[in-house]
Amino acid sequence: MRITAITPMVLGTQWRNLVILKVETDEGLVGLGESRPINKVDAAIGYVRDVADRFVIGLDPFDIELLVKRLTVEDYGRPGEVAMTGLAMIEMACWDIIGKALNQPIYRLLGGAVRQRIKAYGNGWYTVERTPDEFAAAARRAVAKGYRALKFDPFGAGYYEAEQAEKRKMIGLVEAVRDAVGPEVELLIEMHGRFNPVTAIEMTRELAPFKPSWVEEPVPPANIPALKKVADAVAPLGVPVATGERIHTLHEYREVLELQAADILQPDIAHFGGIFNTKKLAAWADTYYLLMAPHNVGGPIATAAALHLAACTPNFKIQENFNDFDEPYVLASAPGLPPFSEGFFALPTGPGLGVTLDEAVVAEHPEQRIHFNLFAEDWHKRKARMHTE
């Protein structure tokens, strides 16, 4: 079997563009890949087109390791966010083809299930005014959908430091959510790499009474010793540190692991070279007794890939999901995700990823010209901003 064609397409939403790859073979099997390259749609598609004829067309989709070698070694340039995103989409589609060829779900080809359901948390539920009442009401709505873990960023447009009044507002939002959902719902505090170490430590100490299950990316991702400084300071508070969505290669994780600078790793399968690369990281992380909570801001195709990895990864903790808080047509674009209930997804079913692309839905919702800026006021409302702003 050989790959004969790669077709990129884009599903546009109000705040994100989902790049979808359709990979075709000479035996009629078709595989799907997907990513959400933040503000880099054209770059990701351009990369896929650049490597397709040179490295991918004519490849046997079973040759995952050869695909990775070609795109990360033989192309010579040091792989980064765009390259690893393109690789991830192609690799994901190859696994989809492999599963269909063997009539098996992907997780059964990666060692089989180690759990019968997959714990998940909701994100994207807090697109409301940044007030305690509004955040509390939104949190209750998310819990009503069945979520027993919620992630949110209460920090506005903060960067490095914050004024005292703004700090009180940040703390008040978390307090309001905790009061609204009670002690049993997990709260996952997203910092988006906003703070310098001293502010990240201060804010974590202030939020510790609300029992967050982690603080995520407390400092920008480029300086791992700074991350370790935070992790060491907040460890006595019993608050784990999570990071990894902006780390794109195995080699970049070396310092995180060797310094033991985090407790939970969050690679994004769709930007980390795909399913198998993330599986390798999980095994490496397990030697340090670290947990995996893969980042996922993708639509149903990327989410399906994440669920397959979660099913067969012993040190998996919890899976992120946005799709229940987005436009309904996103899920309709690739139906087949397993059902979600009371905080858990069922195991994926069907061969390969288990989802089927509806190209008509994608065509009805083309790419949007979005500039998504996490450091703009009211960014959390996820209203489209034009590139020209």
Active site residues: 192, 295
**In the numeric block, which tokens belong to residue 134?**
């509004």
Q: 325 vs 8, 102, 109, 178, 276, CA distance in Å?
A: 25, 34, 31, 20, 28
Contacts of 378 (CB under 8 A, 6+ apart): 130
**In the numeric block, which tokens belong to residue 382?**
């996820």
Check if the beta carbon of residue 264 is closer than 8 Å to that of residue 240.
yes
Phi, psi (5° rounding) for residue 311?
Answer: -60, -30
Cα–Cα distance, 328 to 307 (Å, whole number): 20
Helix-helix angle 81-102:300-311, to 10 degrees: 70
Number of neighbouring beta carbons within 10 Å of residue 284 = 15
Cα atoms in the Cβ-side hemisphere of radius 13 Å centred on 2: 7
Site of tokens 């490295």: 55
Q: Which amino acid is at 302?
A: A
